[in-house]
Protein backbone atom coordinates (compact mmCIF):
# COMPACT_ATOMS: atom_id res chain seq x y z
CA UNK A 1 0.00 0.00 0.00
CA UNK A 2 3.02 2.32 -0.22
CA UNK A 3 2.79 2.99 -3.97
CA UNK A 4 2.71 6.69 -4.86
CA UNK A 5 -0.32 7.48 -7.04
CA UNK A 6 -0.86 10.53 -9.21
CA UNK A 7 -4.50 10.78 -8.15
CA UNK A 8 -6.31 9.11 -5.24
CA UNK A 9 -10.10 9.27 -5.41
CA UNK A 10 -12.36 8.63 -2.44
CA UNK A 11 -15.65 7.18 -3.68
CA UNK A 12 -16.60 5.03 -6.70
CA UNK A 13 -19.89 6.75 -7.49
CA UNK A 14 -20.34 8.20 -10.96
CA UNK A 15 -18.36 11.36 -10.18
CA UNK A 16 -15.38 9.41 -8.85
CA UNK A 17 -15.53 6.85 -11.65
CA UNK A 18 -15.78 9.49 -14.37
CA UNK A 19 -12.86 11.44 -12.93
CA UNK A 20 -10.83 8.26 -12.51
CA UNK A 21 -11.52 7.16 -16.06
CA UNK A 22 -10.56 10.53 -17.56
CA UNK A 23 -7.34 10.67 -15.53
CA UNK A 24 -6.39 7.06 -16.30
CA UNK A 25 -6.95 7.63 -20.02
CA UNK A 26 -4.69 10.67 -19.80
CA UNK A 27 -1.90 8.42 -18.54
CA UNK A 28 -2.04 9.24 -14.84
CA UNK A 29 -1.68 6.53 -12.19
CA UNK A 30 -5.10 6.41 -10.50
CA UNK A 31 -6.41 4.74 -7.36
CA UNK A 32 -10.10 4.72 -6.44
CA UNK A 33 -11.08 3.79 -2.87
CA UNK A 34 -14.65 2.59 -2.26
CA UNK A 35 -16.21 1.61 1.07
CA UNK A 36 -18.88 -0.55 -0.60
CA UNK A 37 -18.20 -3.83 -2.40
CA UNK A 38 -19.51 -2.60 -5.77
CA UNK A 39 -19.17 0.61 -7.81
CA UNK A 40 -21.94 3.08 -8.66
CA UNK A 41 -22.82 4.66 -5.31
CA UNK A 42 -26.57 5.30 -5.06
CA UNK A 43 -26.89 3.96 -8.61
CA UNK A 44 -25.33 0.63 -7.67
CA UNK A 45 -27.20 -2.63 -8.28
CA UNK A 46 -27.85 -5.85 -6.37
CA UNK A 47 -29.15 -9.34 -7.13
CA UNK A 48 -32.21 -11.06 -5.76
CA UNK A 49 -31.74 -14.75 -4.93
CA UNK A 50 -33.04 -15.79 -8.37
CA UNK A 51 -30.37 -13.71 -10.11
CA UNK A 52 -32.61 -10.75 -11.06
CA UNK A 53 -30.43 -7.62 -11.00
CA UNK A 54 -31.81 -4.16 -10.26
CA UNK A 55 -30.71 -0.83 -8.74
CA UNK A 56 -30.83 -0.39 -4.97
CA UNK A 57 -32.49 2.98 -5.55
CA UNK A 58 -34.62 3.56 -8.67
CA UNK A 59 -32.86 5.23 -11.60
CA UNK A 60 -33.53 6.44 -15.11
CA UNK A 61 -32.37 9.41 -17.12
CA UNK A 62 -34.12 11.86 -19.41
CA UNK A 63 -33.93 11.76 -23.18
CA UNK A 64 -32.49 15.30 -23.19
CA UNK A 65 -29.60 14.41 -20.86
CA UNK A 66 -26.23 14.81 -22.56
CA UNK A 67 -23.47 13.37 -20.40
CA UNK A 68 -24.73 9.82 -19.81
CA UNK A 69 -25.23 9.11 -23.54
CA UNK A 70 -21.79 10.57 -24.32
CA UNK A 71 -20.18 8.33 -21.71
CA UNK A 72 -22.05 5.28 -22.97
CA UNK A 73 -20.87 6.04 -26.51
CA UNK A 74 -17.27 6.40 -25.31
CA UNK A 75 -17.53 2.92 -23.83
CA UNK A 76 -18.97 1.53 -27.07
CA UNK A 77 -22.20 0.50 -25.35
CA UNK A 78 -24.72 2.79 -27.06
CA UNK A 79 -26.65 -0.28 -28.19
CA UNK A 80 -27.59 -0.88 -24.56
CA UNK A 81 -29.61 2.34 -24.21
CA UNK A 82 -33.37 2.07 -24.49
CA UNK A 83 -35.68 5.11 -24.75
CA UNK A 84 -39.29 4.51 -23.84
CA UNK A 85 -42.42 6.51 -23.03
CA UNK A 86 -43.15 6.97 -19.35
CA UNK A 87 -46.60 6.28 -17.96
CA UNK A 88 -47.19 8.51 -14.96
CA UNK A 89 -50.17 9.04 -12.72
CA UNK A 90 -51.49 10.25 -9.40
CA UNK A 91 -53.31 8.57 -6.55
CA UNK A 92 -55.72 11.03 -4.97
CA UNK A 93 -58.84 10.59 -2.85
CA UNK A 94 -58.73 6.84 -3.25
CA UNK A 95 -58.60 6.95 -7.05
CA UNK A 96 -55.90 6.48 -9.69
CA UNK A 97 -55.55 9.27 -12.25
CA UNK A 98 -53.48 9.13 -15.43
CA UNK A 99 -51.19 12.17 -15.80
CA UNK A 100 -48.88 11.37 -18.71
CA UNK A 101 -50.06 14.01 -21.22
CA UNK A 102 -51.67 17.48 -21.28
CA UNK A 103 -54.96 15.79 -22.20
CA UNK A 104 -54.76 13.71 -19.00
CA UNK A 105 -54.38 16.95 -17.03
CA UNK A 106 -57.55 18.35 -18.60
CA UNK A 107 -59.38 15.22 -17.36
CA UNK A 108 -58.12 15.59 -13.78
CA UNK A 109 -61.47 16.30 -12.13
CA UNK A 110 -60.26 16.88 -8.55
CA UNK A 111 -59.28 20.34 -9.83
CA UNK A 112 -61.90 22.75 -11.23
CA UNK A 113 -61.48 23.24 -14.99
CA UNK A 114 -59.97 26.74 -14.70
CA UNK A 115 -57.42 25.44 -12.19
CA UNK A 116 -56.46 22.68 -14.65
CA UNK A 117 -55.87 25.29 -17.36
CA UNK A 118 -53.85 27.42 -14.95
CA UNK A 119 -51.78 24.42 -13.92
CA UNK A 120 -51.00 23.67 -17.56
CA UNK A 121 -50.03 27.26 -18.30
CA UNK A 122 -47.73 27.26 -15.28
CA UNK A 123 -45.04 25.51 -17.35
CA UNK A 124 -44.83 28.54 -19.65
CA UNK A 125 -44.44 30.86 -16.66
CA UNK A 126 -41.73 28.65 -15.21
CA UNK A 127 -39.72 28.88 -18.44
CA UNK A 128 -39.79 32.67 -18.22
CA UNK A 129 -37.39 32.49 -15.26
CA UNK A 130 -33.96 32.92 -16.84
CA UNK A 131 -31.91 33.83 -13.75
CA UNK A 132 -32.53 31.30 -10.99
CA UNK A 133 -30.87 33.51 -8.39
CA UNK A 134 -33.89 35.82 -8.56
CA UNK A 135 -36.01 33.11 -6.88
CA UNK A 136 -33.40 31.54 -4.59
CA UNK A 137 -34.66 33.57 -1.60
CA UNK A 138 -38.14 32.03 -1.90
CA UNK A 139 -39.44 28.70 -0.64
CA UNK A 140 -41.11 26.37 -3.14
CA UNK A 141 -44.53 27.32 -1.84
CA UNK A 142 -43.81 31.07 -1.91
CA UNK A 143 -42.83 30.84 -5.56
CA UNK A 144 -45.14 28.14 -6.90
CA UNK A 145 -48.44 28.97 -5.22
CA UNK A 146 -48.91 32.35 -6.99
CA UNK A 147 -48.15 30.66 -10.35
CA UNK A 148 -50.67 27.83 -10.15
CA UNK A 149 -53.13 29.00 -7.48
CA UNK A 150 -53.68 27.89 -3.91
CA UNK A 151 -56.04 25.09 -4.81
CA UNK A 152 -53.74 23.47 -7.38
CA UNK A 153 -50.79 23.89 -5.05
CA UNK A 154 -52.63 22.22 -2.17
CA UNK A 155 -53.84 19.25 -4.22
CA UNK A 156 -51.01 18.66 -6.70
CA UNK A 157 -47.75 20.03 -5.34
CA UNK A 158 -47.90 20.30 -1.55
CA UNK A 159 -48.29 16.54 -0.84
CA UNK A 160 -45.40 15.69 -3.18
CA UNK A 161 -43.08 18.31 -1.71
CA UNK A 162 -43.91 17.35 1.86
CA UNK A 163 -43.42 13.65 1.13
CA UNK A 164 -40.13 14.39 -0.60
CA UNK A 165 -38.63 16.74 1.98
CA UNK A 166 -40.39 15.71 5.18
CA UNK A 167 -39.81 18.11 8.09
CA UNK A 168 -37.62 20.45 6.00
CA UNK A 169 -40.15 21.00 3.18
CA UNK A 170 -40.59 24.69 4.01
CA UNK A 171 -36.82 25.27 4.03
CA UNK A 172 -36.09 24.13 0.45
CA UNK A 173 -35.67 27.00 -1.97
CA UNK A 174 -37.68 27.48 -5.16
CA UNK A 175 -34.71 26.76 -7.45
CA UNK A 176 -34.97 23.04 -6.76
CA UNK A 177 -38.55 22.95 -8.07
CA UNK A 178 -37.87 25.38 -10.92
CA UNK A 179 -35.09 23.24 -12.35
CA UNK A 180 -37.19 20.08 -12.05
CA UNK A 181 -40.06 21.66 -13.96
CA UNK A 182 -37.82 23.13 -16.67
CA UNK A 183 -36.03 19.83 -17.28
CA UNK A 184 -39.20 17.72 -17.23
CA UNK A 185 -40.99 20.10 -19.55
CA UNK A 186 -38.28 19.66 -22.18
CA UNK A 187 -38.51 15.85 -22.29
CA UNK A 188 -41.96 15.74 -23.90
CA UNK A 189 -42.66 14.18 -27.30
CA UNK A 190 -44.93 15.62 -29.99
CA UNK A 191 -48.04 14.41 -28.14
CA UNK A 192 -46.91 15.80 -24.81
CA UNK A 193 -45.85 12.44 -23.36
CA UNK A 194 -42.56 12.05 -21.50
CA UNK A 195 -39.66 10.03 -22.90
CA UNK A 196 -37.19 8.43 -20.49
CA UNK A 197 -34.02 6.41 -21.03
CA UNK A 198 -32.61 3.37 -19.25
CA UNK A 199 -29.42 1.33 -19.50
CA UNK A 200 -29.93 -2.38 -20.09
CA UNK A 201 -28.95 -4.32 -17.00
CA UNK A 202 -29.06 -1.23 -14.79
CA UNK A 203 -26.76 1.63 -13.97
CA UNK A 204 -24.59 -0.67 -11.88
CA UNK A 205 -23.62 -2.48 -15.07
CA UNK A 206 -22.53 0.85 -16.56
CA UNK A 207 -20.52 1.57 -13.40
CA UNK A 208 -18.84 -1.84 -13.69
CA UNK A 209 -17.89 -1.06 -17.29
CA UNK A 210 -16.32 2.23 -16.18
CA UNK A 211 -14.43 0.49 -13.38
CA UNK A 212 -13.11 -2.13 -15.80
CA UNK A 213 -11.99 0.59 -18.19
CA UNK A 214 -10.07 2.34 -15.39
CA UNK A 215 -8.25 -0.89 -14.63
CA UNK A 216 -7.60 -1.51 -18.34
CA UNK A 217 -5.81 1.85 -18.48
CA UNK A 218 -3.56 0.98 -15.55
CA UNK A 219 -5.70 2.32 -12.71
CA UNK A 220 -6.69 0.48 -9.57
CA UNK A 221 -9.95 0.22 -7.61
CA UNK A 222 -10.08 -1.10 -4.06
CA UNK A 223 -13.50 -2.07 -2.72
CA UNK A 224 -14.41 -2.49 0.96
CA UNK A 225 -11.72 0.11 1.63
CA UNK A 226 -13.18 3.16 3.40
CA UNK A 227 -11.10 6.25 4.03
CA UNK A 228 -10.75 6.54 7.80
CA UNK A 229 -8.50 9.56 8.06
CA UNK A 230 -6.39 12.15 6.24
CA UNK A 231 -2.74 13.01 6.89
CA UNK A 232 -1.66 16.57 6.06
CA UNK A 233 1.53 18.59 6.10
CA UNK A 234 1.17 22.35 5.83
CA UNK A 235 -1.24 23.13 3.03
CA UNK A 236 -1.04 19.70 1.39
CA UNK A 237 -2.61 16.29 1.89
CA UNK A 238 0.08 13.62 1.97
CA UNK A 239 -1.87 10.41 2.58
CA UNK A 240 -5.26 8.82 3.22
CA UNK A 241 -5.69 6.29 6.00
CA UNK A 242 -7.58 3.05 5.30
CA UNK A 243 -8.04 -0.16 7.32
CA UNK A 244 -5.33 -1.71 5.12
CA UNK A 245 -2.83 1.11 5.65
CA UNK A 246 -1.98 4.52 4.25
CA UNK A 247 -2.21 5.53 0.60
CA UNK A 248 0.00 8.33 -0.71
CA UNK A 249 -0.60 10.47 -3.76
CA UNK A 250 0.00 13.77 -5.52
CA UNK A 251 -3.65 14.82 -5.94
CA UNK A 252 -6.68 13.80 -3.89
CA UNK A 253 -10.34 13.93 -4.86
CA UNK A 254 -13.15 13.46 -2.33
CA UNK A 255 -16.62 12.60 -3.68
CA UNK A 256 -18.80 11.41 -0.73
CA UNK A 257 -21.29 13.60 1.14
CA UNK A 258 -19.90 16.68 2.90
CA UNK A 259 -20.42 15.20 6.36
CA UNK A 260 -18.46 12.08 5.44
CA UNK A 261 -15.63 14.21 4.06
CA UNK A 262 -15.60 16.26 7.29
CA UNK A 263 -15.33 13.02 9.28
CA UNK A 264 -12.45 11.87 7.08
CA UNK A 265 -10.46 15.03 7.78
CA UNK A 266 -11.32 15.18 11.48
CA UNK A 267 -8.89 17.48 13.27
CA UNK A 268 -6.53 17.67 10.27
CA UNK A 269 -8.42 20.59 8.70
CA UNK A 270 -9.40 24.11 9.86
CA UNK A 271 -12.50 24.14 12.04
CA UNK A 272 -14.29 26.83 10.02
CA UNK A 273 -13.97 24.83 6.80
CA UNK A 274 -15.24 21.67 8.48
CA UNK A 275 -18.17 23.69 9.83
CA UNK A 276 -18.97 24.89 6.30
CA UNK A 277 -19.14 21.27 5.14
CA UNK A 278 -21.47 20.34 7.98
CA UNK A 279 -23.66 23.39 7.32
CA UNK A 280 -25.29 21.59 4.36
CA UNK A 281 -28.17 19.45 5.57
CA UNK A 282 -29.19 16.10 4.11
CA UNK A 283 -32.16 13.76 4.28
CA UNK A 284 -31.68 10.03 4.49
CA UNK A 285 -33.59 7.56 2.34
CA UNK A 286 -35.13 4.14 2.92
CA UNK A 287 -35.96 2.33 -0.30
CA UNK A 288 -37.98 -0.86 -0.29
CA UNK A 289 -37.53 -2.96 -3.44
CA UNK A 290 -40.21 -5.58 -4.02
CA UNK A 291 -39.88 -8.52 -6.41
CA UNK A 292 -43.45 -9.61 -7.20
CA UNK A 293 -45.10 -12.32 -9.27
CA UNK A 294 -47.64 -9.89 -10.76
CA UNK A 295 -48.15 -6.22 -11.48
CA UNK A 296 -49.85 -3.65 -9.26
CA UNK A 297 -50.99 -1.42 -12.14
CA UNK A 298 -49.99 -0.27 -15.63
CA UNK A 299 -48.34 2.94 -14.31
CA UNK A 300 -44.57 3.42 -14.05
CA UNK A 301 -44.46 6.43 -11.75
CA UNK A 302 -47.48 6.88 -9.48
CA UNK A 303 -47.30 10.04 -7.39
CA UNK A 304 -49.23 9.67 -4.14
CA UNK A 305 -51.14 12.79 -3.14
CA UNK A 306 -53.39 11.20 -0.55
CA UNK A 307 -52.84 12.50 2.99
CA UNK A 308 -51.24 10.00 5.31
CA UNK A 309 -49.48 7.92 2.68
CA UNK A 310 -45.82 7.79 3.79
CA UNK A 311 -44.13 7.37 0.39
CA UNK A 312 -43.44 9.95 -2.28
CA UNK A 313 -44.62 7.53 -4.92
CA UNK A 314 -44.97 3.97 -6.12
CA UNK A 315 -42.45 3.28 -8.87
CA UNK A 316 -43.20 0.07 -10.78
CA UNK A 317 -39.99 -0.30 -12.73
CA UNK A 318 -41.27 -3.13 -14.92
CA UNK A 319 -43.93 -0.83 -16.35
CA UNK A 320 -40.97 1.03 -17.84
CA UNK A 321 -38.46 -1.73 -18.60
CA UNK A 322 -40.17 -4.99 -19.57
CA UNK A 323 -40.66 -7.79 -17.01
CA UNK A 324 -39.10 -10.08 -19.63
CA UNK A 325 -35.74 -8.55 -18.64
CA UNK A 326 -36.31 -9.63 -15.03
CA UNK A 327 -37.26 -13.27 -15.44
CA UNK A 328 -40.93 -12.34 -15.76
CA UNK A 329 -40.94 -10.76 -12.29
CA UNK A 330 -42.37 -7.34 -11.46
CA UNK A 331 -40.14 -4.83 -9.63
CA UNK A 332 -41.63 -2.11 -7.41
CA UNK A 333 -39.77 0.63 -5.53
CA UNK A 334 -41.19 2.43 -2.48
CA UNK A 335 -38.98 5.33 -1.47
CA UNK A 336 -39.15 7.47 1.65
CA UNK A 337 -36.94 10.47 2.45
CA UNK A 338 -36.62 11.21 6.13
CA UNK A 339 -34.34 12.64 8.80
CA UNK A 340 -32.44 9.91 10.61
CA UNK A 341 -34.19 11.00 13.81
CA UNK A 342 -37.45 9.63 12.41
CA UNK A 343 -38.48 6.45 14.29
CA UNK A 344 -38.89 4.65 10.94
CA UNK A 345 -35.13 4.79 10.44
CA UNK A 346 -34.78 2.32 13.34
CA UNK A 347 -37.25 -0.20 11.86
CA UNK A 348 -35.93 -3.62 10.96
CA UNK A 349 -36.33 -4.68 7.34
CA UNK A 350 -39.28 -6.88 8.29
CA UNK A 351 -40.98 -4.07 10.22
CA UNK A 352 -40.50 -1.73 7.28
CA UNK A 353 -42.00 -4.26 4.87
CA UNK A 354 -45.05 -4.71 7.12
CA UNK A 355 -45.43 -0.94 7.42
CA UNK A 356 -45.19 -0.45 3.65
CA UNK A 357 -47.57 -3.25 2.67
CA UNK A 358 -50.22 -1.96 5.05
CA UNK A 359 -50.23 1.38 3.22
CA UNK A 360 -49.84 -0.18 -0.22
CA UNK A 361 -52.95 -2.30 0.33
CA UNK A 362 -54.95 0.90 0.83
CA UNK A 363 -54.09 1.83 -2.75
CA UNK A 364 -54.32 -1.69 -4.18
CA UNK A 365 -56.93 -3.60 -2.11
CA UNK A 366 -56.38 -6.73 -4.20
CA UNK A 367 -52.72 -6.90 -3.16
CA UNK A 368 -51.90 -10.07 -1.23
CA UNK A 369 -48.69 -10.60 0.68
CA UNK A 370 -48.10 -13.81 -1.26
CA UNK A 371 -47.45 -11.71 -4.37
CA UNK A 372 -44.11 -10.62 -2.86
CA UNK A 373 -41.47 -13.18 -3.83
CA UNK A 374 -38.56 -11.35 -2.22
CA UNK A 375 -37.72 -7.89 -0.95
CA UNK A 376 -34.78 -5.75 0.12
CA UNK A 377 -34.56 -2.55 2.13
CA UNK A 378 -31.71 -0.18 1.27
CA UNK A 379 -30.68 2.79 3.38
CA UNK A 380 -28.67 5.87 2.43
CA UNK A 381 -27.62 8.24 5.21
CA UNK A 382 -27.05 11.20 2.89
CA UNK A 383 -29.47 10.71 0.01
CA UNK A 384 -30.84 14.22 -0.62
CA UNK A 385 -29.05 17.54 -0.01
CA UNK A 386 -31.42 20.16 1.39
CA UNK A 387 -30.98 23.30 -0.70
CA UNK A 388 -32.20 26.03 1.62
CA UNK A 389 -32.78 29.68 0.75
CA UNK A 390 -29.56 31.30 -0.46
CA UNK A 391 -27.92 27.90 -0.97
CA UNK A 392 -25.43 29.19 -3.52
CA UNK A 393 -24.04 31.57 -0.89
CA UNK A 394 -23.09 28.89 1.62
CA UNK A 395 -22.53 25.62 -0.26
CA UNK A 396 -18.76 24.87 -0.27
CA UNK A 397 -16.97 24.91 -3.60
CA UNK A 398 -14.48 22.39 -4.93
CA UNK A 399 -11.46 24.12 -3.42
CA UNK A 400 -10.26 23.09 0.03
CA UNK A 401 -7.67 24.53 2.46
CA UNK A 402 -5.21 22.10 0.86
CA UNK A 403 -3.60 22.83 -2.52
CA UNK A 404 -3.80 19.23 -3.74
CA UNK A 405 -7.23 18.25 -2.36
CA UNK A 406 -10.51 18.79 -4.24
CA UNK A 407 -14.09 17.92 -3.40
CA UNK A 408 -16.86 17.16 -5.90
CA UNK A 409 -20.12 15.84 -4.51
CA UNK A 410 -23.79 15.62 -5.44
CA UNK A 411 -24.54 18.52 -3.09
CA UNK A 412 -22.58 20.76 -5.50
CA UNK A 413 -24.68 19.79 -8.53
CA UNK A 414 -26.66 23.01 -8.32
CA UNK A 415 -28.98 24.46 -9.55
CA UNK A 416 -29.62 20.96 -10.89
CA UNK A 417 -30.61 18.30 -8.38
CA UNK A 418 -28.62 15.10 -7.86
CA UNK A 419 -28.46 12.85 -10.86
CA UNK A 420 -26.14 10.48 -12.68
CA UNK A 421 -26.04 12.75 -15.74
CA UNK A 422 -24.68 15.67 -13.71
CA UNK A 423 -22.36 13.49 -11.65
CA UNK A 424 -20.67 12.56 -14.92
CA UNK A 425 -20.44 16.23 -15.89
CA UNK A 426 -18.82 17.10 -12.56
CA UNK A 427 -16.39 14.20 -12.81
CA UNK A 428 -15.25 15.38 -16.25
CA UNK A 429 -14.69 18.94 -15.09
CA UNK A 430 -12.79 18.06 -11.94
CA UNK A 431 -10.64 15.54 -13.82
CA UNK A 432 -9.62 18.26 -16.27
CA UNK A 433 -8.51 20.50 -13.40
CA UNK A 434 -6.56 17.71 -11.69
CA UNK A 435 -4.94 16.61 -14.95
CA UNK A 436 -3.77 20.16 -15.58
CA UNK A 437 -2.18 20.36 -12.12
CA UNK A 438 -0.53 16.97 -12.55
CA UNK A 439 0.76 18.00 -15.95
CA UNK A 440 2.34 21.14 -14.51
CA UNK A 441 3.89 19.13 -11.69
CATH number of the domain within which 210 lies: 3.50.50.60
Tens digit of pLDDT for each residue in 337-395? Answer: 999 999 999 999 999 999 999 999 999 999 999 999 999 999 999 999 999 999 999 99
Residues 295 and 178 both lie in one domain = yes
Cβ atoms of residues 80 and 200 within 8 Å: yes
Of 160, 170, 9, 45, residue with least CA distance to 92: 160
Using CA atoms, how far apart are residues 21 and 217, in angstroms rounded to an integer?
A: 8
Domain count, the chain: 2
Residues 173 and 313 both lie in one domain = yes
Tens digit of pLDDT for each residue in 241-271? Answer: 999 999 999 999 999 999 999 999 999 999 9
Among 112-121, 192-201, 244-253, the range of highest mean pLDDT: 244-253
pLDDT band at 193 (very low <50, low <70, confident <90, very high): low
67 is a domain residue? no
Residues 206 and 184 both lie in one domain = no
**C-alpha to C-alpha distances, 268 to 103, 187, 214, 240, 264, nearest whole angstrom:** 58, 46, 30, 11, 9
Q: Does residue 115 carry a pLDDT above 80? A: yes
Tens digit of pLDDT for each residue in 307-319? Answer: 788 898 999 999 9
Using CA atoms, how far apart are residues 211 and 215, in angstroms rounded to an integer?
A: 6
Domain of residue 247: give its range.
Answer: 4-59+202-280+396-440
User: b or e along 119-134 (b: 16 or more beta carbons within 10 Å of the residue's beta carbon)?
Assistant: beebbeebeebeebee
337 is a domain residue? yes
Which phi and psi (to 5°) does residue 96 adopt? -95, 130
Is 82 or 440 the better-scoring residue by pLDDT? 82
Residues 292 and 387 both lie in one domain = yes
Task: Point out the domain boundary residue: 394, 410, 429.
Answer: 394
Average pLDDT over residues 398-402: 97
Tens digit of pLDDT for each residue in 120-170? Answer: 888 889 989 999 999 999 999 999 999 999 999 999 999 999 989 989 999
Residues 289 and 273 both lie in one domain = no
Using CA atoms, how far apart are residues 389 and 138, in angstroms rounded to an integer?
A: 6
Task: Point out the domain boundary residue: 394, 409, 432.
Answer: 394
Cis before 415? omega within 30: yes
Of 409, 413, 404, residue with least CA distance to 261: 409
Cβ atoms of residues 135 and 129 within 8 Å: yes
Q: Which residues pair with 188 in a beta bridge?
A: 194
Tens digit of pLDDT for each residue in 199-244? Answer: 888 899 999 999 999 999 999 999 999 999 999 999 999 999 999 9
Q: Does residue 185 carry a pLDDT above 80? A: no
- Mean pLDDT computed over every residue of the chain: 93
Q: Would you state the pLDDT for residue 1?
A: 45
Amino acid sequence: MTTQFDAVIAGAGFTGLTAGLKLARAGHKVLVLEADDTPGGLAGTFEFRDGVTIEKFYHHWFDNDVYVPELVKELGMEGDVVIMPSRTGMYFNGKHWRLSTPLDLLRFKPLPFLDRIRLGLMVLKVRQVKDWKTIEHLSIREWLEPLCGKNAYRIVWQPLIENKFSVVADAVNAVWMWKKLVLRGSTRDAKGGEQLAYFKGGFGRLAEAMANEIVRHGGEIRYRTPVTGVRTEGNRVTALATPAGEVTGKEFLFTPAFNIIADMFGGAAPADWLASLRRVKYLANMCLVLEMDRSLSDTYWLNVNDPGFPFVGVIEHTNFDSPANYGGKHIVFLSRYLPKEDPLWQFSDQQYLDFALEHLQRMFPQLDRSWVQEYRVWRADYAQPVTERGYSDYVPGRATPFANATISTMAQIYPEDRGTNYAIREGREVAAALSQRLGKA
